[in-house]
Amino acid sequence: MTDKNNEKHKIVIVGGGAAGLELATSLGKKLGKKGLAEVMLLDASPTHIWKPLLHEVAAGTLDESEQIEYLAQAHRNHFRFRLGKMEGLNRQKKEVYVSPTLSDSGEELIPRRTFSYDTLVMSVGSISNTFNIKGVAEHCLFLDTTAQAFKFQKQLVESYIKSHAGKNNADDKTLSIVIIGAGATGVELSAQLHEVTDLLAVYGLDESSDVKLTIIEAANQLLPALPVKLANATQQQLVKLGIDLKLGRRVIEVTKEGVHTHDGEMVPADLKVWSAGIKAPDWMKDLDGLEVNRINQLVVDETLKTSDDNIFAIGDCAACPWPGHDGNVPPRAQAAHQQASTLSKSIVNRLHGGKLVKYTYLDYGSLVALGKYTTVGNLMGNLMGSVSIGGFIARVVYLSLYKMHQVAVHGYFRTAMLTLSNLFRRSAHAKIKMH
């Protein structure tokens, strides 16, 4: 099955994460609505959740109304959505190859397809980097996708129920959860899980709160993206919550029973979560000769263009230069948001014979939310020096990052209505999903 339409400029965006969805929405409004181009978004999932919120999905505390249906979003914003996973690329023919879509039972729902493009944007995000450590892929849970986050949440609830059901048995034991990696995802997840434990106690499911949370980190500091002062403040908060921190411990193997570290310790774990690094998907290593770096990211120039004039990359899958700094632009939500805005202007210019816009990363700092307990971070990053913030102000700024994404996707009015709707829903619904 081949998608052919030579009348309009065809823009194909692969990946509906923060960057891809914002770009598709913007181009749909600017070009699709006016009939100037045909904009198509391809993603393997039917729905979108902002990736920094996946730890809340995993803990069961995120309102499901935060999910965005791609088909509905496409209809409202004049682009097309196609469900599927990219499996190959032919640059000479300007074609993208998409794998068959299968049901849970293995039945083919949608056959293998081919989509042609004039402009291709790769925005497939990132996945966990296991560094080929033995047992990680087999025994750890991951939070790269919405499906994985829901899988974790289901196992979490089942483990709690199983633990509670055995309270009067002789084999009763503490439920142990080990998080490997103390970056933002690992730290935020640990605080969210602690909050969930409190909620379960309130609901009477786990009155004694027999849950042990542990974070294992190879570095000697939590949150390497934050200044030492803020990392230490976060560490103190986690210790106060009773979360066991094992810093300077390198994981060498994960088994069914637990996590083994380089110093010979074995940390028992019923649930093991891996959040110790990222890379672009492995299938991106061979995209018809496009240059990638050691973690499979597509190498792009300052205009977000690859070595092919018709192919661009944004978000976590792009290795974008950061002038004046060692390394590339960091894989953060604010970078994805900025790159989508820049590339939207470039593609519009390109269709009208104009120049591509150079992307300059503006570092507004880093923020980490520890659930209901606190939020810490530094504002302005490298723009004006680091200004430490915490508590209520930091929480407001943290939420504003998500609101920026919502505004880019929904517009100001719809974002305001969704915010009000969520406030009313949370007052009437349980704070944690129990199924």
Judge contact between 251 and 216, C-beta under 8 A.
yes
What's the confidence (pLDDT) of residue 215? 97
Judge whether residue 177 has pLDDT over 50.
yes
The answer to the question of residue 92 being in a domain is: yes
Return the exposure string of 237-255: e unless at least 16 CB atoms fall within 10 Å of the residue's CB, then b: bbeebebebbeebebeebe
For residue 212, is pLDDT > 50?
yes
| Domain endpoint, select from 321, 351, 381 | 351
- Name the packing angle between helices 18-27 and 70-77 (round to 10°): 30
Are 269 and 151 in the same domain? yes
Give the span between the Cα atoms of 430 and 49, in whole angstroms.
Answer: 20
What pLDDT does residue 401 have? 72
| CATH number of residue 239's parent domain | 3.50.50.60
225 and 299 in a common domain: no
The amino acid at 90: N
Answer yes or no: do 114 and 154 share one domain: no
Mean pLDDT of 73-84: 96
Given pLDDT bands bounded at 50, 70 and 90, which one contains residue 396?
low
Residue 24 exposure: Cα atoms within 13 Å on the Cβ side: 33
pLDDT of residue 1: 42
CA-nearest of 361, 364, 321 to 342 is: 361
Domain boundary among 250, 274, 298: 274
pLDDT digits 0-9 by tens, 345-376 = 999 999 999 999 999 998 876 667 666 556 55
Q: Is residue 10 part of a domain?
A: yes
pLDDT bucket at 7, cuts 50 / 70 / 90? confident
394 pLDDT higher than 70: no
Do both 13 and 94 map to the same domain?
yes
Backbone angles phi, psi at 169, to 5 degrees: -90, 160
Asked if the structure places residue 84 within a domain, the reply is yes
Please name the amino acid found at residue 172: D
Span 52-79, mean pLDDT?
A: 86
* 352: CB partners within 8 A, 6+ apart: none
Q: Are 202 and 242 within one domain?
A: yes
Q: Does residue 383 belong to any structural domain of this protein?
A: yes
What's the pLDDT score for residue 376? 58
- The mean pLDDT value of the chain amounts to 85
Q: What is the pTM of this model?
A: 0.86
Distance in angstroms (rounded) separating the CA atoms of residues 159 and 205: 12
Check pLDDT > 70 for residue 379.
no
Averaged pLDDT, 127-151: 93
Nearest to 285 by CA among 88, 95, 15, 84: 88
Model confidence at 250: pLDDT above 80: yes
Are 229 and 388 contacting, i.e. CB atoms less than 8 angstroms apart? yes
Residues 226 and 295 in one domain: no
Tell me: do 120 and 145 sit in the same domain.
no
Q: CA-to-CA distance for 88 and 95, rounded, in angstroms?
A: 9
> 163 lies in a domain?
yes
Rg of the chain over all Cα atoms, to the nearest angstrom: 22
Same domain membership, residue 269 and residue 150: yes
C-alpha to C-alpha distance for 427 and 169, rounded to whole angstroms:
37
Q: How many CA atoms lie within 13 A of 114 on its CB side?
A: 11
Q: Return the percentage of the chain with pLDDT > 90, whole number.
A: 56
Q: What is the average per-residue pLDDT within 187-215?
A: 73
Do 7 and 40 reside in the same domain of the chain? Answer: yes
| Contact criterion met (CB below 8 Å) for 243 and 215 | yes
> Residue 428: pLDDT above 50?
no
Q: Are residues 270 and 285 in the same domain?
A: no
The DSSP code for 141 is: B
Same domain as 318, residue 208: no
Q: In this structure, is residue 50 part of a structural domain?
A: yes
Q: Residue 404: give the domain boundaries.
A: 365-428
| Cα gap 234→376, rounded to integer Å | 7
Mean pLDDT computed over 56-85: 88
Chain position carrying tokens 């933002």? 184
Which amino acid would we find at residue 169? N
Strand partners, 7: none
For 174-188, 208-222, 248-262, 359-373, which range has the lowest pLDDT when averaged over its residues? 359-373
Across 236-240, 308-312, 389-393, the highest mean pLDDT is recorded for: 308-312
**Residue 170 forms part of a structural domain:** yes
Predicted confidence at residue 196, as pLDDT, reads: 79
Domain count, the chain: 3
State whether 292 and 318 are in the same domain.
yes
Bridge partners (DSSP) of residue 4 are none
